[in-house]
Structure 1
Amino acid sequence: MNPPAALHIRELSGLGELALTPPLARAVWGEGDHPEDPGLLLAVQHIGGLVAGAVDGDGQIWAYLVGLPTKDAGTQHSHRLGVHPSARKQHLGEKLKRFQREWCLERGIQMIRWTFDPLLLVNAHLNIHRLGAVVGTFLPNYYGQMGGINAGAPSDRFEAEWVLDSERTRAHLTGQVTEVWPAQAFDPLKDKLPATLPEQLAVSIPKDFYRLLREDQAQALGWRLKTGPLFTRLFSEGYSLTDVSLSREHYLFERGAEC
């Protein structure tokens, strides 16, 4: 099943369209996933949340996003973002996030927060490098035991914070970022952190954690067990995740960075 070249990013409308999201969720995250009921998504829209999708001319949905209101009127929690495997490499995730940003700014919402797996390099690159979000919070085994493509490892998560109209965000969205990286990177599986840390620290991350989880669960669990304490220490000492390099397969942590 191949998506058409032209997809329209917009809010989804009515139970008919919302009912297309559960099968899409299972295609993205596996049959063990537990997608939201379409009636619940309708209620989310009714109370001021966002449910948006990438829709073709026949009404088929190829990607979708769910944003929830929070106790802070100026902040939205981004709960879901999924792209059908057949529609990847069309930058639909980024297009949906940009749509979400504009939607929120039009309604006076200044920040979006969301969680993501700290070992998913491609997701981190979108969130941090392409969009300009930062991470300063590590949530160990946040969802407990999960099914689908997440099965087999603790559900550790980063919490991203995206200040929607900051100088940093505008620079990343327009590609006007100058990368300055340390010459050496820390390998969580091989190296030991020194007692005193530099102001910048590059950290190696696996290229494809989901593939590791499928093909070498022992190594995947090794990454989980080694990086959890590392991230906890860095954030406790005032570091933030501020950039991601796909070519290097590195994260950049900086002390005292601002959103």
Structure 2
Amino acid sequence: MTNEIEIRSLYTIEELEDVRRLESKIWGESDSIPTHQTITAVKNGGLVLGAFYEGQLIAFQYSFPGFNGQSVYLCSHILGTDEQYRNKGIGEKLKQAQRDEALKLGYSLITWTYDPLESINGYLNIGKLGGVVSTYLPNCYGEMEDLLNSGLPTDRFLVEWHIRHEQPSDPFGNKYDEDLCLANSLLQWSINDKGLPVVLPLTYEGLQNDNRIFVPIPKNFRTIRETNMDLATDWRMQTRQVFTEKFAEGWQVGGFKKISNPDIPVNFYILTRCALKGDFCNED
């Protein structure tokens, strides 16, 4: 199916209204971006991409120009896929198309935010695309009542994707085996009677590697959030503490280790010392 998907830039009011309707289907009608906003962005250095299957819009990506006082970059705001077409690689195809179009427009950096506890997004943004993260944004969007964020602080990673640079070496952590990740995990966990991982307090005892550290996140955080909000909040607050402290010390996320062992309920972010500061590395 993936090979049959057409991705193209969208420019017309009719096309962008289709995007608004799909966004409303995914997140809820009250939170959708007005078409007059997206069409204005497209006319002023922004970008809206649509993914089509058999002529039907099934996914989209929306970006607009950003400026940090020194340089211009492309701010990637929303990527959404219709529920029945998720987990088919469409998000990756949209991001690669976004990169190609951004290069044509003269950009060298794309940034976006995402929930660091969502393993699927971490695997795509860090592992597959080679983005790096050194900024943590607590409760970035405040309390949101949409279909995907209600009830939990909206903490976010700020991803930097330097699209003219080579991808970081070993973003999947292939040189680190499972035992090394476990031995250098900054957080530990137990399993409750529902089979869900319960995060334990932060500890630095027993770590074996000063050059790489590993921060676990649940493989299926969405299940935790939908069934046990207290447990979801614990994961949010414990990982917030870890990332906030480590980023302040000069570490950055540059890899994502996917654990195939079904008995281990987590995947890992790989943190290294921030050798070269990116455009956003020093910002709060």
Identify if the C-alpha distance between structure 1 residues 210 and 100 changes in structure 2 by more than 3 Å, giving closer, same or farther: same
Displacement of 1:117 in angstroms is 0.5
Q: Which amino acid in structure 2 is aligned with residue 161 of structure 1?
A: E
Residue equivalent to 2:65: 69
Within the alignment, does 1:253 sit opposite 2:271 as a pair? yes
Identify if the C-alpha distance between structure 1 residues 140 and 89 changes in structure 2 by more than 3 Å, giving closer, same or farther: same
Partner Cα distance (2:238, 2:54) in 1 = 47
Residue equivalent to 1:122: 120
Displacement of 1:22 in angstroms is 2.4
Displacement of 1:23 in angstroms is 2.7
Match of 1:53 among 30, 44, 50: 50
Residue equivalent to 1:157: 156
Q: How does 1:1-259 map to 2 (within 5 A)?
A: 6-29=4-27, 31=28, 34-58=31-55, 60-71=56-67, 74-147=72-145, 148-168=147-167, 178-180=174-176, 182-183=180-181, 184=183, 185-187=185-187, 189-194=199-204, 198-247=210-259, 249-258=267-276
Displacement of 1:26 in angstroms is 3.0
Identify if the C-alpha distance between structure 1 residues 179 and 49 changes in structure 2 by more than 3 Å, giving closer, same or farther: farther
Output one character per residue of 1:159-182: Cα deviation in whole Å (capped at 9) or x when no partner: 00000021226x67xx99854353
Unpaired runs of 5+ residues, structure 2, are 189-198, 260-265, 279-284
Q: Which amino acid in structure 1 is aligned with residue 15 of structure 2?
A: E
Displacement of 1:92 in angstroms is 0.8
Output one character per residue of 1:136-170: Cα deviation in whole Å (capped at 9) or x when no partner: 0000001000122110110000100000021226x
Q: Any idea what SS the aligned residue of 2:77 has?
A: strand
| TM-score normalised to structure 1 length | 0.89
Q: Any idea what SS the aligned residue of 1:168 has?
A: coil
Residue equivalent to 2:196: none
Q: Which deviates further from its counterpart, 188-197 or 224-233?
A: 188-197
Report sequence identity in percent.
Answer: 31
CA contact (8 A) 2:255 2:270 kept: yes
Displacement of 1:191 in angstroms is 4.7
Root-mean-square deviation (Å): 2.4
| TM-score normalised to structure 2 length | 0.81
Unpaired runs of 5+ residues, structure 1, are none
Q: Which amino acid in structure 1 is aligned with residue 267 of structure 2?
A: E
Displacement of 1:104 in angstroms is 1.1
CA contact (8 A) 2:173 2:255 kept: no
Q: Which deviates further from its counterpart, 239-248 or 211-220?
A: 239-248
CA contact (8 A) 1:243 1:252 kept: yes
Q: Which amino acid in structure 2 is aligned with residue 254 of structure 1?
A: T
